[in-house]
């Protein structure tokens, strides 16, 4: 049985959205890959985009007309992906959830999901997306060294789609955090996560920052501001994983992907995420 994986949530637009079709709500289901996807209507291009990604239904989103235009990927951008992965992989974790839902006949069914997280405290603190763990009755975290531990949600902010987990572990390798305010459109980045819950280690996809300061609103009502747009592929299971710059530092948290559109993904800027997490832990 395949294990569902999680991705971003869904969104609407600011200012007034361009015309869009019906919004769809994501569901958890056993044996299904779940992606919290975002479909975006870019006012700049005046083009519609939406649909499905990895089994999770998507809503629609629009972006302010003043947002930077998408920049095509620069060929030969200097990113040493193997070196970056070697630097950051020890701090990346797999987040697995179990819960009980209902099927089409309203019968209870066991559900499972998989997402990504990264270590923010050597004493067992892990950051991920709230939608990865929301409603879960049991959460386990697998560290890169193979250890598996039960986790609990220490704090969460559904409006920001962020959650902090705690596991019973010490001396964990802490992920290096960068400064998302220094990002420029066209900067190379890589997205790391447990795409499709496939075994064998994290998946790495390479791209650029294609736009900055996007505003998207999830189908759960979370209005995410100052979001990074990237053409690095963000797939089901990447949710909660890091978006990393060329120096190997985390500049964003992979959170959403456009359903029908190609090469449009979204990450919560790490500077804003740090402020939210600091407030949660205060």
Distance separating alpha carbons of residues 101 and 108, to the nearest angstrom: 6
Instruction: Say how many C-beta atoms besides its own lie within 10 A of residue 20's C-beta.
Output: 18
Catalytic pick among 161, 187, 231, 245: 161
Catalytic residue check, 131: yes
Cα separation, 259 vs 222, whole angstroms? 18
The angle subtended at Cα 162 by Cα 14 and Cα 240, nearest 5°, is 100
Q: Which residue has 């456009």 as its token pair?
A: 258
Residue with tokens 């972006």: 63
Burial (Cβ within 10 Å: 0-12, 13-18, ≥19) of residue 232: buried
Q: How far is CA 166 from CA 128, 170, 254, in A?
A: 11, 11, 20
- Cβ of 150: how many Cβ atoms within 10 Å? 11
**For this structure, is 161 an active site residue?**
yes
- Please indicate whether residue 24 is annotated as part of the active site: no
Rounded CA separation 205/186 (Å): 16
Catalytic residue among 219, 231, 239, 245: 239
Half-sphere exposure of 129 (CA within 13 A, CB side): 36
List, in order, residues 6 or more apart from 61 with CB less than 8 Å away. Answer: 10, 11, 12, 13, 17, 38, 39, 40, 41, 216, 217
Peptide bond into 15 cis (omega under 30): yes
Measuring CA to CA, which residue among 41, 45, 32 is closest to residue 1? 32
Among 12, 20, 24, 131, which one carries the catalytic annotation? 131
Q: Which residues are catalytic?
A: 131, 161, 239
């Amino acid at each position: 049985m395949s294990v569902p994986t999680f991705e971003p949530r869904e969104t609407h637009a600011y200012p007034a959205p361009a015309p869009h079709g019906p919004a769809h709500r994501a569901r958890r289901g056993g044996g299904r890959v779940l992606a919290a996807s975002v479909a975006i209507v870019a006012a700049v291009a005046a083009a519609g985009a939406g649909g499905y990604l990895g089994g999770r239904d998507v809503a629609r989103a629009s972006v302010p007309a003043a947002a930077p235009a998408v920049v095509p990927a620069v060929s030969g951008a200097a990113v040493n992906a193997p070196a970056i992965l070697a630097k950051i992989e020890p701090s990346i974790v797999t987040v697995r959830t179990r819960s009980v839902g209902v099927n089409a006949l309203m019968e209870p069914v066991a559900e499972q999901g998989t997402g990504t997280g990264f270590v923010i405290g050597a004493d067992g603190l892990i950051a991920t997306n709230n939608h990865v763990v929301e409603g879960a009755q049991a959460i386990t975290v697998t560290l890169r060294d193979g250890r598996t531990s039960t986790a609990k949600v220490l704090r969460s902010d559904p409006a920001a789609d962020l959650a902090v987990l705690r596991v019973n572990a010490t001396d964990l390798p802490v992920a290096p955090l960068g400064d998302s305010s220094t990002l420029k459109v066209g900067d190379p980045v890589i997205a790391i996560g447990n795409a499709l819950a496939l075994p064998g280690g994290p998946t790495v996809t390479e791209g650029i920052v294609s736009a900055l300061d996007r505003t998207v609103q999830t189908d759960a009502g979370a209005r995410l501001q100052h979001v990074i747009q990237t053409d690095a592929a963000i797939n089901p299971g990447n949710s909660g994983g890091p978006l990393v710059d060329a120096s190997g530092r985390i500049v964003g948290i992979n959170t959403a992907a456009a359903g029908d559109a190609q090469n449009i993904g979204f990450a919560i800027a790490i500077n804003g995420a740090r402020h939210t997490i600091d407030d949660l832990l205060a």
